[in-house]
Amino acid sequence: MFGNKAKPDTRSQQKRAVSAALLQRLVGPDPQSIGALTAIARLVDYPPGTIAVADHDEVAYLAAGALRFVTRSGAAVTLTSEQAAARYPLPCGHRIARIEAAKGSRLIWLPRTAMAQRQPTTPEPPKLTGGEESALAELRGYFDSPHYELPSLPDLAIKIGDAIDKNTTTSDDIARLIQLDPVLSTRMLSVVNSAAFGGVNRITSIQQATTRLGRSKVRSLVFSCLLKSIFRVSGGDLQRRMEAVWQHSVKVAALSYVLGKVTPGIDAEQTMLAGLVHDIGGVAVIGAISRFPQLAVREQVFEHVVASLRITAATRAITHWGLEQELGAVVRDAHDWQRTGTALADDTDIVIVARLHAAFGTPQAHALPRLDALPAFSKLANGDMTPRQSLAVLDRAAADVREVQALIAQ
């Protein structure tokens, strides 16, 4: 995962015992697992200095001290061993540019292969009729066939995304592509000049917008403005369900944007896009069900089919779009209330909390977990937020949430 540039404390070179109590605090209460992990865990002390990011076959936890994470966007986030989020693995990968020991710190290292991957639970399937069983088998076969039609990004979104990825293109080149669609241009200017997006100094041209916002934010906003066309399907009843998914996704996106703004290390525009596409798997499954209408007759059967195929469909779609690195974790894990992730909040954590907030006041609310029971919630605002404060933040930002919803849903 990562090794250190400054050498670890020489006293840490010898393997040191890790207490079962400490491991239990970090990885959970399973006695059998704790006993096995105690035998293979190792403690390493680090002096203040940089810990270089690198591929590794181990997982690290912060046992004592403080670490400073610098993201590739330049944001800096500090994690101390006293924070609740310290019981989760340390982050690594494309998002983290540098990790520093802010003071003398102690890490626990465990082999990645020894860490059990928790699988989200799947609801008990309803009793299917013979016709429904046959249709579901055909639907699964359709997903595996070359005839399966994945949800497609709009052509302009693909062209703009490709241009943003090329080092040889300029902001003016990207602006010219956006201006090919007058409606997109108008919406982009509406978004960047809105109060919710901090539009204090008015931006009057797409060229100004692309220069001032930067490539990453432009991509997120362009995709968010163009994605509505994906949420369509033939058939009145299925389109009603698809419209419900769209409206829910828009609300989650708006809430994700507001929560992202108060969480260090988070790109709020990227998190808004993550909220908008978090159920792209559901969109793909509903589109496929249009070929097997028998699966949409009974609501409980329809919901079971969507839930059981959502992750497979989402993974294929996001990989097809070339956005696995940015959005893969979101589409796979956003429906898992108990997803732990890493010690540093990411887009998926924000979307999970936004989903719960979006469900408040709905008929499903009684079956939802408590906000403070979500591992994701302990990382919001760098772990400094209570459920009451979270509700207060969104209450104060209610106008922003409504404005973002309106801007996306146009």
18-35 residue pLDDT tens: 777 777 777 766 655 777
Q: What angle do CA 359, 220, 156 make, to 5 degrees?
A: 120
Contact (CB, 8 A) for 407 and 191: yes
| Whole-Å CA distances, 221 to 16, 167, 195, 227, 320 | 49, 20, 15, 10, 20
HSE-CB for 279 with a 13 A CA cutoff: 27
Identical fold for domains 2-114 and 130-148+231-409, yes or no, is: no
CATH superfamily of 130-148+231-409: Hypothetical protein af1432 (1.10.3210.10)
Q: How far apart are CA 285 and CA 306, in angstroms?
A: 6
pLDDT by residue (tens digit) across 46-66?
999 998 655 568 889 999 999
What's the token pair of residue 266?
């988070």
Q: Would you kindly state where each structural domain of the chain is located, as residue ranges?
A: 2-114, 130-148+231-409
Query: Could you give the residue ranges of the DSSP H alpha helices within 144-204?
Result: 155-165, 171-178, 182-192
pLDDT by residue (tens digit) across 349-402?
999 999 999 998 888 888 899 999 999 999 988 777 888 888 888 888 888 888
> Is 4's pLDDT higher than 50?
no
Mean pLDDT within 281-307: 94
Q: Identify each DSSP E strand in 103-244 by its residue range.
A: 105-111
Helix (H) or strand (E) segment spanning residue 368: none
> Is 342's pLDDT higher than 90?
yes
Look at residues 87, 176, 136 and name the one whose alpha carbon lies nearest to residue 293. Answer: 136
Place of tokens 């990011």: 53
pTM of the model: 0.89
pLDDT reported for residue 117: 64
Fold of the 2-114 domain: Jelly Rolls (2.60.120)
